[in-house]
Amino acid sequence: MNMSYEQTLKAVDDILRTDAGCATPIDYIEQTSWILFLKYLSDLESERSDEATLKGKEYTPLFADEFKWDNWAVPKNDDGSQDIVNALTGDDLLEFVNLKLMPYFKTFKTDIENSNTLEYKIGEIFSEISNKLQSGYTLRDVLNNIDTLRFLSIEEKHEMSHLYEEKIKDMGNAGRSGGEYYTPRPLIQAIVEKVNPKIGETVYDPAVGSAGFLVEAFKQMSKGKLNVEDVETLQFKTFYGKEKKSLAYIIALMNMILHGVDAPNILHINTLTENVLDVQDSERHDVILANPPFGGKERKEVQQNFPIKSGETAYLFMQHFIKLLKGGGRAGVVIKNTFLSNTDNASISLRKELLETCNLHTILDLPGGAFPGAGVKTVVLFFEKGSPTKEIQYYQLNLERNIGKGQPLNLDDLDEFRNLTKDSNSDNIWTLDIKNINQDNYDLSVVNPHIEDDVLPEPSEILKEIQKLEKESTSLLSDLEQIINEN
């Protein structure tokens, strides 16, 4: 009986744990990814070759024969069974992968002139990733397992892309460093729905991580009936991103490709090294969706690229968001809740800039635990560039349970927010008139007027209560002593 996709990927993880070259869940997904990706491309080739044959057209394969999956990874006999005699294993397999296969795929980046192609993206990926497996026998076991997976039907592709997202989630739970790869998908879905990107608009994430926002935007924008021009637009002219970290960058590319975007416009670059004052109109975007790193620190030379100087990474990203939005452009971005109330000069200046240049129409206040392992409380800011803020609608997500790694945020939790309108009314919703805020510090703290703060008693009252309790305990001890003496 064939194993399910989920069982297969779990079996692969178990195999990888036995190899000296893989020590962490991040290693597991990195090594699974490049092998999975090549199997996906093999099935994609079969599909496109069949389509070309049906149309009477000639198909040009992506890869030379020697490097096709069915020739090097899992060779087949005429009856479709594995050709064990010709299947490389042990040191022979390692030598082929490290000295021939990997260098071959790297050439795609230098030999392909058009960067807006699947071939070029393959070159990009294999310029950043290498085989870490130290045993060719382990690699053979992994290849045999991955070969059982199929990506030919829409259902198969959907299941695979879903499981790949789950593996990225596992990375997000693999300690603090993993968190940069993963924003909870229900939260992303709610943000994308609220911002509502349309076909013909560009969608940009300058801190792209594993491309969760771009993938979700693609899913939403792909709904309904699309004509040929719409499909072309979504494939090549819609999704843009930048990522500083190598592993996050390649996972972002593979995640987009596995979800059906052949040539995502994602660059391997530190977004913050670009001077925001030099931004041209042609570089601006209609929609920005992002979750910049929490608590990162930037060097002085990087801070020089921004009018408001700050060592806080997220504050530099906020300036980038504002500058990179087109007039009328919309954004949904995650940031630590302290951004709303910090009293340092950079925080105050940045809030003032945001309120004066953009309509910050909605703030979603998230409970602690929304980002497992991150240890911070966050808010989501929704704003539109071009007119100043007059009124902010706050929504405080109050749940009857604690959320965290064991009980993550789900879509049902966000149901009320997802249906939020200007006229919505509940104890979780209130509005703030900008005329009523302190013009010295532009404090936007989340203060729910529907929830009464516990009033602390005066110190003299506390002291009286302590004295009363002390008298009661003395009396009890005296009674206990009497009972013991009588016995």
Q: What is the pLDDT of residue 78?
A: 86
My answer on whether 346 and 427 are in the same domain is yes
The pTM score is 0.84
My answer on whether 148 and 184 are in the same domain is no
Q: What is the pLDDT of residue 220?
A: 95
Would residue 270 count as lying in a domain? yes
Boundaries of domain holding 475: 458-487
Query: Residue 187: which of 370, 416, 372 has the closest Cα?
Result: 370
**Mean predicted confidence (pLDDT) in 387-392:** 97
As given in the structure block, the two tokens for residue 402 are 């604690």
Query: Residue 162: which of 9, 369, 370, 266 has the closest Cα?
Result: 9
**Mean predicted confidence (pLDDT) in 253-279:** 91
Q: What is the pLDDT of residue 487?
A: 63
My answer on whether 240 and 369 are in the same domain is yes
My answer on whether 354 and 477 are in the same domain is no
Residue 1 has pLDDT above 70, yes or no: no
- What whole-number distance in Å separates Cα of residue 5 and Cα of residue 160? 7
Query: Residue 199: which of 149, 248, 238 has the closest Cα?
Result: 238
Would residue 159 count as lying in a domain? no
Per-residue confidence band for 453, with pLDDT thresholds at 50, 70 and 90: low
My answer on whether 232 and 142 are in the same domain is no
Least confident range from 200-214, 322-336, 392-406: namely 392-406
**Mean predicted confidence (pLDDT) in 245-270:** 88
Would residue 475 count as lying in a domain? yes
Per-residue confidence band for 381, with pLDDT thresholds at 50, 70 and 90: very high
Residue 50 has pLDDT above 50, yes or no: yes
Residue 26 has pLDDT above 90, yes or no: no
Would residue 271 count as lying in a domain? yes
Residue 340 has pLDDT above 50, yes or no: yes
8 Å CB contact between 101 and 143: no
My answer on whether 233 and 182 are in the same domain is yes
My answer on whether 183 and 126 are in the same domain is no
Report the range out of 183-187, 330-334, 448-452 with the highest average pLDDT.
330-334
DSSP conformational letter for 144: H
For residue 143, give the CATH number of its domain: 1.20.1260.30
Q: What is the pLDDT of residue 178?
A: 43
Q: What is the pLDDT of residue 316?
A: 95
CB burial of residue 455 (10 Å; 0-12, 13-18, 19+) = exposed
Q: What is the pLDDT of residue 373?
A: 66
Q: What is the pLDDT of residue 176?
A: 43
Least confident range from 170-179, 334-343, 354-363: namely 170-179
My answer on whether 269 and 343 are in the same domain is yes
Per-residue confidence band for 177, with pLDDT thresholds at 50, 70 and 90: very low
More confident residue, 271 or 155: 271
Residue 174 has pLDDT above 60, yes or no: no
In the block, tokens 């024969």 appear at 65
Residue 101 has pLDDT above 90, yes or no: yes
More confident residue, 456 or 224: 224
Would residue 445 count as lying in a domain? no
More confident residue, 161 or 149: 149
Per-residue confidence band for 74, with pLDDT thresholds at 50, 70 and 90: very high
My answer on whether 22 and 125 are in the same domain is yes
DSSP conformational letter for 79: T
Least confident range from 149-153, 165-169, 212-216, 237-241: namely 165-169
Number of domains in the chain: 3
Q: What is the pLDDT of residue 363?
A: 98
**Mean predicted confidence (pLDDT) in 444-472:** 79
My answer on whether 232 and 84 are in the same domain is no
Would residue 132 count as lying in a domain? yes
Would residue 476 count as lying in a domain? yes
- ∠ CA 336-340-343, nearest 5°, is 110
Q: What is the pLDDT of residue 337?
A: 94
My answer on whether 232 and 140 are in the same domain is no
Where does a domain end: 152, 183, 199? 152
Q: What is the pLDDT of residues 211-246, one digit of tens each?
A: 999 999 999 999 988 999 999 999 999 999 999 988
More confident residue, 477 or 109: 109
Where does a domain end: 117, 152, 187? 152
My answer on whether 20 and 95 are in the same domain is yes
Residue 256 has pLDDT above 50, yes or no: yes
% of residues, the chain, pLDDT over 90 = 63
Instruction: Compute CA 364 distance to the chain's CA centroid, rounded to the nearest angstrom.
Output: 18
Would residue 375 count as lying in a domain? yes
